[in-house]
Structure 1
Amino acid sequence: MTAGVPSLPRPTEAELEILRVLWSRKECTVREVHEALRGGQSGYTTALKMLQVMHAKGLVLRDDSSRAHVYRAAISKERAQRWFLGDLVRRLFDGSSSQLVMQALGNDEASPAELKAIRNLLDELDREDS
């Protein structure tokens, strides 16, 4: 962990699946999360336990003012992406964002639309630096 950068709990793959549901729907009851996960194939009590654990870890917030508790993600998807990507760059790419980008573009063929979006972002960053 870098000084001054708060650590976020690392969600498991199953927790990320629940966070994706919450990010897309803003807030959900346990039943709604349960039904969204693989069409309700996982057990209701499993969804409940996962949400309780995630609440204890600080990954979700819970409104228990009504009978059916309502959960929402504790951080936005964008903030989580920025933090995890920054952590990845620090730990795996020695703090070099350009190494990450070169590796990503070298491993996968970007579509013309993605390359255009990358060029536009680079142009925008150049304008900001000028």
Structure 2
Amino acid sequence: MEKIAPTTAELEVLNILWKKEPLTVKQIHDAICKTKAVGYTTTLKIMQKMTTKGLLRREPNGKSHLYYSNYEKEETRGRLLDRFIDSAFGGSASSLVMQLLGNKKTSKQEMEEIMQIIEHMENETPSK
């Protein structure tokens, strides 16, 4: 399966599906409408395009269809992050982290979580 990076609107649909799938167009539309006004046909068109692109699959369910994501959340986020790091930071993850920590007040709890992740990664990385 080809790796396709979703658009912002497509990612919004995927985030809803990743919480609880399968869902109908109406269920996804209702979830989107909780945060912004969008027409039902707009939601339907986005999901039809996503199905054509291979981001979603649909299965008949009576008079409607149930939609499923074809990609896992972590796989998709990783792909989007890699693309962002490559395009905005020249492939440098450390530049991204330094920019992020410099632009936003990071809480003590967040810093502790980051340090735990780094420590965990160091302990799992074999010494050369």
TM-score category (smaller protein): 0.7 to 0.9
AA in 1 matched with 2:117: L
Match of 2:10 among 1, 7, 15: 15
1:36 matched to 2:31:
yes
Distance 1:41 1:122 in 2: 41
Change in CA separation of 1:104 and 1:86 when aligned onto 2, cut-off 3 Å: same
Change in CA separation of 1:126 and 1:59 when aligned onto 2, cut-off 3 Å: same
AA in 2 matched with 1:16: L
TM-score (norm 2): 0.84
Query: Could you list the runs of 5+ residues in structure 1 that have no partner in the other structure?
Result: 1-5
Residue 65 of structure 1 deviates from its aligned partner by: 5.6
Distance 2:90 2:12 in 1: 29
Q: Which residue of 2 aligns with 1:3?
A: none
Aligned residues: 125
TM-score (norm 1): 0.83
Residue 15 of structure 1 deviates from its aligned partner by: 1.8
1:111 matched to 2:107:
yes
Identity %: 36
Match of 1:25 among 20, 42, 49: 20
Distance 1:69 1:45 in 2: 15
Alignment of 1:1-130 (within 5 A): 8-39=3-34, 41-64=37-60, 66-130=62-126
Q: Which runs of 4+ in 1 moved over 6 A?
A: none
Query: Could you list the runs of 5+ residues in structure 2 that have no partner in the other structure?
Result: none
Distance 2:46 2:65 in 1: 14
